Structure 1
Amino acid sequence: MLTRSTRRTVTFFNPFPLSGYVGELSAGDYEVIVEEELLQGLSFEAWRRTATYLTVHGRGSPAGRTEMRATTEQDLTAALGRDQAETRGNTDSEAALSPQEDGS
Structure 2
Amino acid sequence: MTMRSRRETITFRNPFQLAGIDRVLPAGAYEVVTDDEMIEGLSFPVFRRVATMITVPGAPPHRSSLELIAIAAGDLAEARRLDAVAQPT
| TM-score after normalising by structure 2 | 0.90
**Deviation by residue 1:26-76 (Cα, 9 ceiling, x = unmatched):** 000000000011110001000010000011133752133111111111100
2:15 is matched with 15
- What SS does the corresponding residue of 2:54 show, helix, strand or coil? strand
Distance in 2, Cα, partners of 1:15 & 1:63? 16
For the pair 1:53 / 2:53, whether they are aligned, the reply is yes
The CA deviation at 1:12 is: 0.5
Q: Spell out structure 1 runs of 4+ moving beyond 3 A.
A: none
Distance in 1, Cα, partners of 2:59 & 2:29? 13
2:40 is matched with 40
Distance in 2, Cα, partners of 1:17 & 1:63? 17
Higher fraction of helix: 1
Identity of aligned residues (%): 42
Distance in 2, Cα, partners of 1:29 & 1:46? 30
Structure 2 unaligned residues grouped into runs of 5+: none
Q: How many residues align?
A: 89
1:71 is matched with 71
1:96 is matched with none
- What SS does the corresponding residue of 2:80 show, helix, strand or coil? helix
Higher relative contact order (CA 8 A, sep 6+): 2
Structure 1 unaligned residues grouped into runs of 5+: 92-104
- What SS does the corresponding residue of 1:82 show, helix, strand or coil? helix
The CA deviation at 1:8 is: 0.4
| TM-score after normalising by structure 1 | 0.78
> Pairwise CA RMSD of aligned residues?
1.7
Larger radius of gyration: 1
Moved more, 53-62 or 7-16: 53-62
